[in-house]
Amino acid sequence: MKNQTKVQFYSINDISDILNVDYRTIAKKVTSGEIPHYKFGHKTIRVKVEDFNKWLENAHVAKNTVG
């Protein structure tokens, strides 16, 4: 068997807990496409850890920046 790297995912609940933000707020950002995600089946949505980290880094607001 080849040496394979496993892809790690977060659920919407995971992200909600990590950021201490309401589940519905994260769900809206995911379903609007603001946070990249994958759908597995009808209800299962997952966000790759790398994609979440990139999104979080881009969401950083520099000091003295308004908006």
| Among 51, 50, 12, residue whose Cα is nearest residue 29 | 12
Strand ranges, E, within the chain: 9-10, 38-40, 44-48
* Integer Cα distance of 9 and 56 in angstroms: 15
| pLDDT 10s digits, 9-27 | 999 999 999 999 999 999 9
Query: pLDDT digit string (tens) for 36-46?
Result: 999 999 889 99
> Residue 5 pLDDT > 90, yes or no?
no
